[in-house]
Amino acid sequence: MNLDVNQARLNAELDKLASFSEAPAPAVTRILYTEQDLAARAYFKDLCLEAGLELRVDALGNTYARWQGSEPNLAAVATGSHIDAIPYAGMYDGTVGVLGGLEAIRALQKSGFTPKRSLELILFTAEEPTRFGVGCLGSRVMSGVLGTQGLESLKDNEGKTPNEARQAAGFQGQLSDVRLPEGFYHAFVELHIEQMPQLEQKGIPIGVVTAIAAPATLHIRLEGAGGHAGAVLMPDRKDALICGAEIAQTIETIALSTGSIDSVATVGIFDIHPRAVNSIPSKVFMTVDVRDTDLARRDGMVEAIKDAVRSISGGRKLKAVIETLNADPPASCAREITEATELAAREYGLRTLPMVSRAYHDALFMARLCPTGMIFIPCKDGVSHRPDEYSKPEDIERGVKVLASVLARLSMS
């Protein structure tokens, strides 16, 4: 398929999108429903309208831009990703799949191609867990994994629920209408930077994702006893920080002990109270992110971590509360999409690498609704979630061409 991808335009749009940020360049901070997030959404919508796409926004802010096909009653083929960014992140995570998806549609339009099935570009709300502690908020609700009751149990640092926050940001409508029925889409394909170094190290331009790892998130709260740093003797202490530190080290040991390179566990937040130089920490709040490509092994790590928390806190006479925010199963990518990706890459003379996504994405939850696949492109040194995150323009262009060809093929099936 002979496609003209306007990479200069796409680069300029990625740069412009990165300017909607709370952090100074080159860092990008764009948190759900903030002024910067809303401005970036408005910019995206303007681009879609310029491309002649029909817009729809649901009650949570998931944004859909549709190019109507010749048979609009058929289930559409979808692509897309996210534009929210964790604090001091980079400018390519998620955005390549959103603006690259738009450029793929524009390239198909320019080529004279007419899809049979409509093509729909999705901007997912809050793939990052920054504001409410749960990742892929929009696609979780869209796929029915998270219901309205579960949404109401979430709160940000100011105590606001997603319902309160989305209404304050101007998103109206019934949250129950966000969920889509199974089979609403014929297929979904997400273009994304790899966020690991394999493609770059091997000199391969296209990664064909075969599966997405299973994530779980735990919140751990420890309560000991505070006191004066000079007046409470060591044998009498119930130091929450020391207890939490021992738990954190044990979590690392648990992940290493599986013997699998696919097992990972991370303590991402470790907050103490009261944070005074001469006061014994009385409380700790920890988050634990546990992932694996094997569900049984992931669940084994989670149970081992819970047992360790109970054992260590009990031995130190501290109170421990463990909350499981999510424990999602892995997803397998649809064979018809991986094959279509391989074929599209061969058409452009591009080598491919079958690979597992160890980071999770909105595609994990879209797999609940329809056959799903992912296309990875290289990023420099595998760096992501940092200001120096970078993908070469030519690598982005290759990914967009492959995505466009896959969308075209799926739209005619």
- Give all domains of the chain, ordered by start, each with its CATH number: 7-213+330-411 (3.40.630.10), 214-327 (3.30.70.360)
Evaluate whether 118 touches 66 at the Cβ level (below 8 Å): yes
pLDDT of res. 129 = 93
The rounded percent of the chain whose pLDDT value lies above 70 is: 100
d(CA 11, CA 150): 38
Q: If you average pLDDT over every residue of the chain, what do you get?
A: 97
Q: Is the predicted pLDDT of residue 281 greater than 90, yes or no?
A: yes
Q: Is the predicted pLDDT of residue 397 greater than 90, yes or no?
A: yes
DSSP state of 382: G
Band of residue 391 on the pLDDT scale cut at 50, 70, 90: very high
| SS3 track for 165-223 | HHHHCCCCCCHHHCCCCCCCEEEEEEEEECCCCHHHHHCCCEEEEEEECEEEEEEEEEE
Q: Is the predicted pLDDT of residue 320 greater than 90, yes or no?
A: yes
Output the pTM of the full model: 0.92
pLDDT of res. 142 = 98
CB burial of residue 26 (10 Å; 0-12, 13-18, 19+): middle
DSSP state of 343: H
Band of residue 2 on the pLDDT scale cut at 50, 70, 90: confident
Average pLDDT over residues 188-216: 97
pLDDT of res. 1 = 78
Band of residue 8 on the pLDDT scale cut at 50, 70, 90: very high
pLDDT of res. 235 = 97
Q: Is the predicted pLDDT of residue 401 greater than 90, yes or no?
A: yes
Q: Is the predicted pLDDT of residue 176 greater than 90, yes or no?
A: yes
Tens of pLDDT, residue by residue over 72-102, are: 999 999 999 999 999 999 999 999 999 999 9
DSSP state of 74: S
d(CA 256, CA 18): 37
Tens of pLDDT, residue by residue over 129-156, are: 999 999 999 999 999 999 999 999 999 9
d(CA 106, CA 5): 8
DSSP state of 236: G
The phi-psi region of residue 247 (left if phi > 0; otherwise alpha if psi is between -120 and 50; otherwise beta) is: alpha
Q: Is the predicted pLDDT of residue 214 greater than 90, yes or no?
A: no
d(CA 272, CA 250): 19
Closest-CA residue to 391 (of 29, 83, 36, 95): 95
Cβ partners under 8 Å of residue 381, min gap 6:
197, 200
